[in-house]
Amino acid sequence: MTKAVLGFQVWRKNMMIKTDIQIHAFRAMASPCELRVECNDPKTVWQLGAIVEAEAKRIEAKYSRYRDDSILSQINAAKGAPVEVDRETAGLLDYAAHCYALSAGQFDITSGILRRVWRFDGSDHVPNERDIERLLPLIGWDKIIWEAPYLTLKKGMEIDFGGLGKEYAVDRALLLVQEATQRPALVNFGGDLRVSGPLRGEKPWQITLQSVDNHNKRDGVLAVTQGALATSGDAQRFLLKDGVRYSHILDPRTGWPVHNPPRSITVSAATCMEAGILSTLAMLQGEGAEEFLSTEKLRAWFIR
């Protein structure tokens, strides 16, 4: 059983699992998605795969920012009027509210509008301060009125489940798979993954992570028997200006990237949502990421 070891060099995820396992792959949420099941029967795999794919697409249809007909887009188009939300959305909003409180405002689902000025395309287009100052009054979960089932956003504010959506989908998909079968299964949406348990014979899933840079070819293998992994990192999304690399981890309180975060943090936790939030929170500590991971006694791996 791997213990929590900080400073253990990490490698970004790319799945390469060595045992004989069947895969159902598809594309959703702008990522390569898959279900891996230790199973001999292709029909069962196809059925389970269909469940996972349907759940991924259902959540995407409901919460995608890119779809005008999603519940999320309807909420964001309300122009200050209260919106009545369903139970699932209410649960996610409560969750986001708790995360906001726990993180003293660093985890904030209203901060998505910063993407209007921050485009992490590898260029040097760092926004100027005034652009950010104009957005700050429209950011802040404390400015929202959330009294279940009614959500009221101030005009101009938006919410965005980007920090929660994929991880929630992984957890939900895996729960549905567990309902349908006892076989060992792994759900992986774009690198955020969760396993239902060890492979047959108590063998762990072998998960190989790849380096963030192209230069570093070392691979690392994690042996996972339970729980989830999620990664925060800047591999593809960053800005580079005057030799300073601006990570895409923005602090919603200031509108600017956090100070000196690690390049990548992978956290292991019981559920994918926890792993995702904890890795995001760790990144938001910037310089203090290692300390945060240590204080919280997390199993995590990072690259500086």
Contact call for residue 140 and another protein (CB under 8 A): yes
Using the rule CB under 8 A, give the single segment among 42-50, 197-205, 217-225, 246-254 that binds another protein. 246-254
How many of the chain's residues bind another protein (CB under 8 A)? 63
| Contacts of residue 258, Cβ cutoff 8 Å, sequence gap at least 6 | 247, 249, 250, 251, 283, 284, 285, 286
Contact 66, 91 (CB under 8 A): no
Of 5, 179, 217, 218, which lies in the binding site for another protein, with binding defined by CB under 8 A?
179
Contact 84, 149 (CB under 8 A): yes
Contact call for residue 262 and another protein (CB under 8 A): no
Query: What letter would DSSP give residue 292?
Result: H
Closest distance of CB 220 from another protein, Å: 23
Give the whole-angstrom CA distance, residue 160 versus residue 63.
Answer: 8
Cα-Cα-Cα-Cα torsion 89, 119, 234, 300, nearest 10 degrees, comes to: -30
Contact call for residue 198 and another protein (CB under 8 A): no
Of 6, 17, 65, 88, which lies in the binding site for another protein, with binding defined by CB under 8 A?
88
Angle at CA of residue 166, ends 221 and 246, nearest 5°: 75
Residues 18-57 close enough to bind another protein by CB under 8 A: none
Closest distance of CB 137 from another protein, Å: 7
Q: Which is nearer to another protein, 15 or 85 (CB)?
A: 85
Sign of CA dihedral 259, 262, 263, 265: negative
Q: Which is nearer to another protein, 17 or 175 (CB)?
A: 175
Burial 248-266 (b: 16+ CB within 10 A, else e): bbbbbeebebbeebbbbbb
Closest distance of CB 217 from another protein, Å: 33
Residues 91-130 close enough to bind another protein by CB under 8 A: 91-92, 94-95, 98-99, 101-106, 129-130
Contact call for residue 58 and another protein (CB under 8 A): yes
Query: What letter would DSSP give residue 79?
Result: T
Binding site for another protein (CB under 8 A): 58, 71, 84-88, 90-92, 94-95, 98-99, 101-106, 129-130, 132, 137, 140, 142-143, 148-149, 171-172, 175-176, 178-179, 246, 251, 253-254, 256-259, 269-271, 273-274, 277-278, 281, 284-288, 291-292, 294-298
